[in-house]
Amino acid sequence: MFREREGRASDDRLREGRASLDRVSPTRIDLATRPADLDAAIRDAYPPVALDQSPPEPPAIDDDRALLEPLGQTILDAGSSSALHLGDDHQRHEAETRDVGALLLVLAIVAGALAVALALAGDATIVIGARIVLAAVGAGMLVGRAATTPRESTDPHPAALLAPVLGGLLIAAWALLGQDRALAAEAASLAGVIATASAISAWLIESARHRIAAERAWIATVLSIPGRRPVDDPGAESAREEAWDLRPGEQVQVEPGEVVPVDLTVTSGDVEVLPWLGATTPVRRRAGDPIIAGATVVRGRLRGACTWTGMDRAVARVLLDPRRRADALAPIAGASRALTERWAFAAAAIGALSAFVAGRPPVEIAMATVAVLAALTTAVAASITSVHVARGILLALRRGIVYKSADAWDRAGRVTVSVFCARGTLLLGEPELAELEAIGGKLDPESILALAAGAERTEEHPVATAIVRAARGRSVRLDGVRNLSSFPGLGVTAVTSAGEELCVGNRALLLEQRVSIAAAEERIAELEALGRTVVLIAVGSRLAGLIGLQDGLRPGARAAIQHLLDAQIEPVLMSGDARETCEAIGRSLDIDHIRPEVLPAHRGAEVRRLIDAGMSVGVLGHAGADDAALGAADVSVALGAAGSTPGDFAITLASDDVRDAALSLALAHRTRLEARTGLSLSVVPALVGAAVVAVGLLPPSYAPIAALLGGIVAVIHARALDAKS
């Protein structure tokens, strides 16, 4: 189909794509396939997986390339800016264009610098002419590079970056035709400075994104693997067919030692996997669990149903897909591109106007205009934000955190309040019986437990499970209660085997059933202050006993809160539990803001209330159990849901770790802030320079020089962050 549509070109591209894939053994993560110059930090983040499987034959590709084509393309794109030293022809070709690009930049810098330096030779017409020619050579190199180097989706339009260089040249030539040699000399200097500064800026941004480009290329490489369809032949137990064109819904089979090629839901097999590319701790996954592409099966044979393929895969979506890349589409990245493509021209017009109002001669007005333009249309200002966004996405992926879109990343970075659906995120959700007490002396504790467990035996709530488990553990025979009715977020009512009304639940339920709890009020408060969930048992409309349940904190709960506090996001504990209980849990976790006693059906409304109060609300919870709250959030963070369908959450995690859930917000905050810092560092000096030049306080050349200094600082800042991560 593909070939019919695209004819020859697709064949060529196919061959290229295939060549780039042949570098990779399809099923193994092998150190040898890593770019040779990847820095140690990346190697540490992706420690080698020791696997002892021999690689299968290179895949035969004779049908749709939907799966591989875009990825192959990405590898090529990324390769062009990342100096992958992998020995196939195409890659070498890419490396060559890159080298040529670098050479052109060096020549542009030299020519531009000479054009400036020749000012020392005086201002004879011939000298000025020579300087203009040198500046023209520099400009020519920049144009040549723009024409030969493939453009990244994060780059601004090359015309915007070339406009000031070419404008500078024109003005210099124009000035030379006039009578004023001093002015002509100044114009020649300006043209030289702009050429040099543009070339250095282009080189700076390349160096700033070198690291992330290499990491992205490596991930693209690892993900370029075929899937396997299981072949249902009982004779050949492990027979499977290699497939590049898997589609959602199809069966996939992954053997131990292999990388999972697509996002999938486990259909059978109890496997151990490293749950994402670069994960170091194996976890168990069973039928129904999602797994994302890039995970490695460590033990057991995995069978799954494909959920997302190609560029829809969790890892690929905002990192590799040219149409969805967050580093190109995030609002802050778009803003900095718009700065160079649009606002710089507006600023230049303002500069021109102020020079005109000051009554300066035409050539000076033109020089001021171009100088302002040159200061604001630098490669660093245009693309430095995308470097920070990409780093944020990559850092998140290293923890199995997947942003659904560029917009989701941006919203995550603006969250001010983070609501925890307590059970399952901060709390284990596996409470244990801690107290069992009879009240009023009518029944003994054991019968209380027998009644409660009898009423709870068909319930699925963690409270119910805990009570039934406790009864079984003590060999208490469950009472044969009848007429069960369940009140979500409250408890259950029933009729005991002896025919009395039975009520098992919280205060609110008993209140509703008109059972007085005055007798136990003090004891209840005492237990709740310890963080216990108190379940009350009433028989025949009289309080007969209580059960205290203690849930544990999940590992990492404290660290998760700390991550949020560090990012100045306020954590909120939302729960159906009693106020005192929640306050006790909040105290132990440093959470001041609690929303207790919220019925399951009211959680969405509760979240919306926070939003209406002007907060930007992230909700952390599990798909299914916490859907109401997640659905109302500005940013929903679903634990353990990466790779599943429908992917309606802003953020999904490959792990079930609440720390990662908190990190998904904190990281977006941090990298968004870093992106803004990077943009300010590069733009503020440029703006100051532009303003000073526009009002005529300094010669025009100072504007691009100020911008260059800003660019240098911004790139040092970005590279320092790379070194830390």
Ligand X SMILES: Nc1ncnc2c1ncn2[C@@H]1O[C@H](COP(=O)(O)OP(=O)(O)OP(=O)(O)O)[C@@H](O)[C@H]1O
- Contacts with Zn ion by CB under 5 A lie at 1, 64
Q: By the 8 A CB rule, do 560 and 659 touch?
A: yes
Total binding residues for ligand X by CB under 6 A?
23
Q: By the 8 A CB rule, do 474 and 449 touch?
A: yes
1 contact, one of Zn ion, ligand X, none, CB 5-8 Å limit per kind:
Zn ion
In the complex, minimum distance from the CB of residue 316 to Zn ion, in angstroms, rounded to a whole number: 21
Segment 322 to 381, residues that bind ligand X, using CB under 6 A: none
In the complex, minimum distance from the CB of residue 309 to Zn ion, in angstroms, rounded to a whole number: 14
In this complex, which beta carbon is closest to ligand X, that of residue 171 or of residue 449?
449
Segment 597 to 636, residues that bind ligand X, using CB under 6 A: 599-600
In this complex, which beta carbon is closest to Zn ion, that of residue 67 or of residue 260?
67
Listed ranges 194-202, 574-582, 609-617, 648-656: which one lies at the site for ligand X (CB under 6 A): 574-582
Distance CA 423, CA 554 (A): 9
DSSP label at 342? I
3-state SS, 38-80, equals CCHHHHHHCCCCCCCCCCCCCCCCCCCCCCCHHHHHHHHHHHH
In this complex, which beta carbon is closest to ligand X, that of residue 30 or of residue 512?
512
* Interface mask toward ligand X for 382-421; x: CB under 6 A: ---------------------------------------x
Residue among 391, 399, 423, 622 that touches ligand X (CB under 6 A): 423
Residue among 535, 538, 564, 690 that touches ligand X (CB under 6 A): 535
Distance CA 652, CA 648 (A): 9
Q: Does 655 bind ligand X (CB under 6 A)?
A: no
Position closest to ligand X via CB: 576
Residue among 307, 533, 636, 682 that touches ligand X (CB under 6 A): 533
Residue among 294, 491, 647, 704 that touches ligand X (CB under 6 A): 491
Segment 669 to 708, residues that bind ligand X, using CB under 6 A: none
Phi, psi of 255, deg, nearest 5: -90, 160
Could you tell me the CA-to-CA distances from 65 to 68, 240, 309 in Å, in that order?
5, 19, 12
In this complex, which beta carbon is closest to Zn ion, that of residue 15 or of residue 284?
15
Distance CA 79, CA 96 (A): 11
* Interface mask toward ligand X for 439-478; x: CB under 6 A: -----------------x--x-xxxx--------------
Place of tokens 């963690």: 462
In this complex, which beta carbon is closest to ligand X, that of residue 80 or of residue 575?
575
In this complex, which beta carbon is closest to Zn ion, that of residue 69 or of residue 479?
69
Could you tell me the CA-to-CA distances from 235 to 56, 231, 253 in Å, in that order?
21, 10, 17
Other CB atoms closer than 10 Å to residue 357's CB: what's the count?
Answer: 10
In the complex, minimum distance from the CB of residue 64 to Zn ion, in angstroms, rounded to a whole number: 4
Listed ranges 500-508, 642-650, 677-685, 701-709: which one lies at the site for ligand X (CB under 6 A): 500-508
Residue among 577, 606, 627, 660 that touches ligand X (CB under 6 A): 577
Listed ranges 287-295, 357-365, 502-510, 699-707: which one lies at the site for ligand X (CB under 6 A): 502-510
Alpha helices in 241-376 (DSSP H): 314-317, 326-329, 331-338, 344-357, 362-376
64 contact, one of Zn ion, ligand X, none, CB 5-8 Å limit per kind:
Zn ion
496 contact, one of ligand X, Zn ion, none, CB 5-8 Å limit per kind:
none
Q: Where are the beta strands (DSSP E) in 542-686?
A: 542-550, 570-574, 593-595, 617-622, 635-639, 651-653
What is the distance between the terminal CA atoms of the chain, rounded to a whole angstrom? 44
In this complex, which beta carbon is closest to ligand X, that of residue 491 or of residue 647?
491
Instruction: Give, in degrees to the nearest 5, the angle at Cα 494 between 492 and 500.
Output: 135
571 contact, one of ligand X, Zn ion, none, CB 5-8 Å limit per kind:
none
Q: By the 8 A CB rule, do 559 and 399 touch?
A: no
19 contact, one of ligand X, Zn ion, none, CB 5-8 Å limit per kind:
none
Instruction: Give, in degrees to the nearest 5, the angle at Cα 46 between 42 and 48.
Output: 125
439 contact, one of Zn ion, ligand X, none, CB 5-8 Å limit per kind:
none
Residue 25 backbone zone (phi > 0: left; psi -120 to 50: alpha; other: beta): beta
448 contact, one of Zn ion, ligand X, none, CB 5-8 Å limit per kind:
none
At 78, list the tokens: 């990324």
Other CB atoms closer than 10 Å to residue 15's CB: what's the count?
Answer: 13
Residues with Cβ within 8 Å of 579's Cβ and at least 6 positions away in sequence, in order, are 528, 594, 596, 597
Distance CA 218, CA 83 (A): 12
Residue among 575, 644, 652, 701 that touches ligand X (CB under 6 A): 575
In this complex, which beta carbon is closest to Zn ion, that of residue 3 or of residue 398?
3
Residue type, 388: H
In the complex, minimum distance from the CB of residue 63 to Zn ion, in angstroms, rounded to a whole number: 5
In the complex, minimum distance from the CB of residue 426 to ligand X, in angstroms, rounded to a whole number: 8
In this complex, which beta carbon is closest to ligand X, that of residue 264 or of residue 449?
449
Q: By the criterion CB under 6 A, which residues form the site for ligand X?
A: 421-423, 456, 459, 461-464, 489-492, 504-506, 533, 535, 575-577, 599-600
